[in-house]
Amino acid sequence: MTHPLLEKHRTVLEGALNAIATRGYWSAYPEMPSPKIYGETALEDGKRAFEAHLGKQFELGQPGLTGWHGGETSPYGVAFDVRYPVCEPDALIQAGLVAMKGWQALGAAGRTGVCLEILDRLNKQSFEIAHAVMMTTGQGWMMAFQAGAPHAQDRALESVAYAWREQSFIPAEAHWEKPQGKNPALVMKKRYQIVGRGVGLVIGCGTFPTWNTYPGLFAALATGNAVIIKPHSNAILPAAITVRIIRSVLAENGLSPDLVTLCVADKRSTTQALATHPAVKSVDFTGGNTFGQWLVDNCKQAQVYAELAGVNNIVIDSTNAYKAMLGNLAFTLSLYSGQMCTTSQAIFVPAGGIDTDEGYKSYDEVCADLSKAIERFLSKPEVAHAVLGAIQSADTAERTDIANSGALGKVVLASTKLENPAFPKALVRTPVLLTCDAADEKAYMEERFGPISFIVKVADTAAGIALSERIVAQHGALTVGVYSTRQEVIDAMTEASWNAKVALSINLTSGVYVNQSAAFSDYHGTGGNPAANASYTDSAFVANRFRVVQRRYHV
Amino acid sequence: MTHPLLEKHRTVLEGALNAIATRGYWSAYPEMPSPKIYGETALEDGKRAFEAHLGKQFELGQPGLTGWHGGETSPYGVAFDVRYPVCEPDALIQAGLVAMKGWQALGAAGRTGVCLEILDRLNKQSFEIAHAVMMTTGQGWMMAFQAGAPHAQDRALESVAYAWREQSFIPAEAHWEKPQGKNPALVMKKRYQIVGRGVGLVIGCGTFPTWNTYPGLFAALATGNAVIIKPHSNAILPAAITVRIIRSVLAENGLSPDLVTLCVADKRSTTQALATHPAVKSVDFTGGNTFGQWLVDNCKQAQVYAELAGVNNIVIDSTNAYKAMLGNLAFTLSLYSGQMCTTSQAIFVPAGGIDTDEGYKSYDEVCADLSKAIERFLSKPEVAHAVLGAIQSADTAERTDIANSGALGKVVLASTKLENPAFPKALVRTPVLLTCDAADEKAYMEERFGPISFIVKVADTAAGIALSERIVAQHGALTVGVYSTRQEVIDAMTEASWNAKVALSINLTSGVYVNQSAAFSDYHGTGGNPAANASYTDSAFVANRFRVVQRRYHV
């Protein structure tokens, strides 16, 4: 059971299979945008390729074309005016179902090989995709490159590896011979066909249009399904480039490109009709709770994999590296202006203060010192712009203004507007840091997406841990953290993380941050609390996307 | 990563792991109720152990006891009067959640070992359980023994093997070392904890109280969850004996027996409240569409694994073994009076008749010959009673009477009542065979559970195949079959089975029947049509029942 493209990329596949089994550090796609790796002209070529899309119609050759639609607004103020094909959703579904026949017939090895070839091609166009990600999301360049291209490709490969592992367990055929005592044995031949469940719909978000789209896309694709990508209305280009590359590779390999299509919809009702279509059997969604819950409640014909809002949090009990802790937190809260689904929103500090290697620090001192650490970290404009990027949506800017006004808690560090000389129209905001009491649940106990965090005063460490557990269980979280020099505190927080089912980072003080999740090693989301009902990536993320249909006959 | 009980049963586990990888014939628990295997006195001991339950309170020592309830009516007319503990559902849930802590701490190897020990003990009590199954369901003795005990245990072991395989992929810890060019590498230790999702509720059916209960029970248990079994109100005893054995093994191993409890509920509302309880994270259900759909629609906090109604069917195009085909069908339609979820209900025969090794047979001849084959097969009373067993419910008897009246189609073979000398009060009915036209969809296109089948006249074979595909896609089926000497017909039926996602049996003429599903080899249900949203057993049946919670820290 193999295929030329699987053989071509076997080293990568085997690396990925080993990585998901050991979950140590591994990456297939280099994260440094280095000319030595990607080619001397890669940066300029990618920029030009991105710019070549601007002001044009983005041709995809999809069926059911009814018009063109665009309207992306760049957080960096770059004029887009790219128009994408608007296609009849039913035409995309029907074409996808037809394309699935050949995709099924190719078998798991062939599908895996084609997916690996697609990833290789996506990697080669990393700079073009990174520019598209940067300019649609407002991420800083380095983050847009890493998270938007190689890290997203790694996450995709992780899905492909899990999908391959599960599918490779299904034998193509079996010889079944049941002894009958003195009589001749009963003998049957059985054959097992892996069949995709139907069309997979992948609904992207505005902040991570590839990183959060690729896992579901490749999980559904590799397991035999057609996929329709419905990108966020403000981050279409990264998805469109991705779809074009996929369609090229499919066509080159004699497969129908309509297996993967882009659905640009200017009305929510279009997406709703698509998500509830009887032929759509899986929906991957990253976004807000309102639409996410609507999908869960209404898409009864499909399995919904949803990443929703949460209230990520950190308990600070004590530390033997106060400065490094503050530096680590300052980076976390600043990165992409807190517009990550993994950014900490609530930091629980005991009312009685904490013990540190620099002596006792009162609650107020911790608040002041964290504020200073953020200010210091962002004091150099070039660092600030590289880290903060730009604010992706007007809603996030408005939430930041509200927090800045003091309406949600006492402002200990105000958000300021920065001018980015490279992008004069960019909307750049530094983090706002608020303080409040644990009792002010209305303030900090709902997701306030963006550069808004609360240092919440809790009675003591135990109260902080209990609060963390309750928040995660009730409101969800993708990440929690703890700082403590005491093993019993770490143990208690570990227990809380098991109860509420959330990934825990302990005493992060160097170059790893609570909001970072590394493919092949860190499970992104556990699937066990309200922030996400699935994880990137585990077996559960792939195993239910295909079915096995058997036939048997006497030999 | 091991455990003494896993080592004790390692041979069985390895056999099962090999079997799920190759899916050839394999069984861990002997299906012959032979004294040589199970002991000279096993039959008598088991019968006495069963009889010792009658007329008594069945003590389980569960928390939250509020009273006693029973009321099972034996299809064989045996007086039961067994009363089971009625316990506060919330007490069972809370006790289950508490018990889960120690179960989680035991780890996957320990949980697997304990599950294997439980299965060993269930196997040793096979005769007692078989009698309980026979007397509550109306199955004949041999079927009650095989399907109720060793085959159910094999299906359970299959779940345990899949659960172990998926859990054993999760490393306990990882060393993560990311190179940083000329700087020291970033090094982290990561630890991964497998955490059950919560309480698993397993809702049993009245006809297969162990075979259809064990897969979900053991899948949920092995993956770290507490389990509450809610048996069918008329088949409590097999579940109660099972629960008692499990609780004994748990207690003997220093674990809380409240990890597994029996919920006897005299009101549907109790089951509904239990199924929608926030702590219940999975519901395994076998039964009718009305309650099954209610569960799917209302248990949003849980993953629902449901096996519902369907319309199993067979297309007859031609055969080179006419007599053997008729014999095979006669057995299928007679076994347990058609009270199997896998029994064929609709048999499609071309209006123009079929070619056979005995020459051309018209549609009417096929109908008459199948009727005669059934009559002949059941002509010896001892064979008839052994195969037919008794009618499990008054509803099934009523449906049979309606069919017999000719209200659903022309009666070509009427159901008759038989007297069983061993059980004078037993309700025994032979199959009723009806004929109708393909257009009479109302008659044959809904499940008519029991000994009721239709020989449906279709325009031709192609029409029969198309009808089969449409029925499966719209109404569901666990099994379809085809008889044909022409490869193109078999290929077309194979394609139809892929499209509608249903297991296909081809030209069964000897000792394998379309309604039989062998553990480790046959997937029972594909999970891809309305008859079942899950399969016994594949990775999807276990992978989403646990979550992985990680923690990470610098080294």
Give the model confidence (pLDDT) of A137-185 as tens digits: 999 999 999 999 999 999 999 999 999 999 999 999 999 999 999 999 9
Instruction: Reduce the DSSP state of residue A439 to 3 states and report it.
Output: coil
Give the model confidence (pLDDT) of B102-147 as tens digits: 999 999 999 999 999 999 999 999 999 999 999 999 999 999 999 9
Nearest to A511 among B24, B169, B186 (CB): B186
Contacts of B526 in chain A (CB under 8 A): 195, 547-549
C-alpha A395/C-alpha B296 separation (Å) is: 36
The number of beta carbons lying within 10 Å of the beta carbon of residue A530 is 20
Q: Which of B474, B523, B481, B482 is nearest to B499 (CA)?
A: B474
Tokens, residue B459? 């325009």
Query: Average pLDDT of chain A?
Result: 97
Structure confidence at residue A544 (pLDDT): 97
Size of interface A-B (CB pairs under 8 A): 180
Question: Which residues of chain B, if any, have pLDDT below 50?
Answer: none
- Check if B540 contacts A (Cβ < 8 Å): yes
Give the model confidence (pLDDT) of A402-427 as tens digits: 999 999 999 999 999 999 999 999 99
C-alpha B147/C-alpha B235 separation (Å) is: 15
Nearest to A509 among B175, B180, B554 (CB): B554
Cβ contact, residue pair B508, A171, below 8 Å = no
List the beta bridge partners of residue A178: A186
Residue range A432-456: mean pLDDT, rounded: 97
Instruction: Reduce the DSSP state of residue B277 to 3 states and report it.
Output: coil
Q: Which of residues 178-207 of B touch A (CB under 8 A)?
A: 178, 180, 186, 188, 190, 192-193, 195, 197
The number of beta carbons lying within 10 Å of the beta carbon of residue A41 is 11
Q: Which amino acid is at A171?
A: P
C-alpha B63/C-alpha B61 separation (Å) is: 7
Q: Which of residues 483-512 of B touch A (CB under 8 A)?
A: 494, 497-498, 501-512
Cβ contact, residue pair A178, B510, below 8 Å = no
Contacts of B511 in chain A (CB under 8 A): 180, 186
Q: Which of residues 71-110 of B touch A (CB under 8 A)?
A: 104
Element (DSSP H or E) covering residue B417: strand B417-418
Cβ contact, residue pair A498, B195, below 8 Å = yes
pLDDT-derived band at A355, boundaries 50, 70, 90: very high
C-alpha A509/C-alpha A512 separation (Å) is: 7
- Is-contact A96 A227, C-beta < 8 A? yes
Q: Which of A177, A204, A106 is nearest to B521 (CA)?
A: A177
- Is-contact B391 B400, C-beta < 8 A? yes
Tokens, residue A246? 């996929």
Contacts of B24 in chain A (CB under 8 A): 174-177
Structure confidence at residue B7 (pLDDT): 97
Q: Indicate whether A195 pLDDT > 80.
A: yes
Instruction: Provide the H-helix boundaries in A303-440.
Output: 322-334, 363-377, 381-388, 394-404
| Whether the bond into A271 is cis, omega within 30 of 0 | no
Residue range A118-127: mean pLDDT, rounded: 98
B303-307/B452-458 β-pairing:
unpaired
Cβ contact, residue pair B195, A528, below 8 Å = yes
Compute the half-sphere exposure of residue A501: CA atoms within 13 Å on the CB side of its CA: 24
Give percent helix, percent strand, percent coil of chain B, each to the nearest 5: 45, 20, 35
> Angle at CA A301, nearest 5°, toward A297 and A303?
75
Distance of CA B209 to the CA centre of its chain: 8
Cβ contact, residue pair A300, B297, below 8 Å = yes
Give the model confidence (pLDDT) of A445-504 as tens digits: 999 999 999 999 999 999 999 999 999 999 999 999 999 999 999 999 999 999 999 999
Contacts of A553 in chain B (CB under 8 A): 505-508
Q: How far is A363 from chain B (nearest CA, A)?
A: 25
Contacts of A514 in chain B (CB under 8 A): none
- Check if B17 contacts A (Cβ < 8 Å): no
Cβ contact, residue pair B505, A553, below 8 Å = yes
- Is-contact B329 B312, C-beta < 8 A? no
Q: Which amino acid is at A13?
A: L
- Check if A424 contacts B (Cβ < 8 Å): no
Give the model confidence (pLDDT) of A223-244 as tens digits: 999 999 999 999 999 999 999 9
Given strand A226-230, what is the order of strands in its sheet? A260-262, A226-230, A199-203, A280-286, A303-307
Q: Which of B169, B191, B215, B193 is nearest to B107 (CA)?
A: B193
Q: How far is A219 from chain B (nearest CA, A)?
A: 14
C-alpha B364/C-alpha A486 separation (Å) is: 84
Q: How far is B81 from chain A (nearest CA, A)?
A: 40
Structure confidence at residue B265 (pLDDT): 86
In terms of CA atoms, which chain B residue is nearest residue A509? B554
Give the DSSP letter of residue A410: E
Contacts with B82 (C-beta within 8 Å, 6 or more apart), sequence order: B53, B54, B55, B56, B57, B58, B70, B72, B236, B237, B240
C-alpha A518/C-alpha A152 separation (Å) is: 10
Structure confidence at residue A25 (pLDDT): 97
Instruction: Reduce the DSSP state of residue A454 to 3 states and report it.
Output: strand
Structure confidence at residue B486 (pLDDT): 98
Structure confidence at residue A265 (pLDDT): 86
What's phi and psi for B330, nearest 5 deg? -60, -40
Tell the burial category of A468 from Cβ atoms under 10 Å away from its Cβ (0-12, 13-18, 19+). Answer: buried
Contacts with B88 (C-beta within 8 Å, 6 or more apart), sequence order: B63, B64, B66
In terms of CA atoms, which chain B residue is nearest residue A491? B551
- Check if B409 contacts A (Cβ < 8 Å): no
This prediction has a pTM of 0.97
- Check if B344 contacts A (Cβ < 8 Å): no
Structure confidence at residue B336 (pLDDT): 97
Complex ipTM, two decimals? 0.97
In terms of CA atoms, which chain A residue is nearest residue B171? A22
pLDDT-derived band at A442, boundaries 50, 70, 90: very high
What's phi and psi for A120, nearest 5 deg? -60, -40
- Check if B553 contacts A (Cβ < 8 Å): yes
Structure confidence at residue A366 (pLDDT): 98
Give the model confidence (pLDDT) of A293-324 as tens digits: 999 999 999 999 999 999 999 999 999 999 99
- Check if B474 contacts A (Cβ < 8 Å): no
Contacts of B190 in chain A (CB under 8 A): 23, 521-522
Tell the burial category of A72 from Cβ atoms under 10 Å away from its Cβ (0-12, 13-18, 19+). Answer: buried
Give the model confidence (pLDDT) of A278-293 as tens digits: 999 999 999 999 999 9
Beta strands of B303-382 (E only): which ranges?
Answer: 303-307, 313-316, 346-350, 354-356, 359-361
C-alpha B509/C-alpha A187 separation (Å) is: 12
DSSP secondary structure string for all residues of A277-313: -TTEEEEEEES-HHHHHHHHHH-TTSEEEEE-----E
- Is-contact A25 B176, C-beta < 8 A? yes
Tell the burial category of B405 from Cβ atoms under 10 Å away from its Cβ (0-12, 13-18, 19+). Answer: exposed
Compute the half-sphere exposure of residue B190: CA atoms within 13 Å on the CB side of its CA: 25
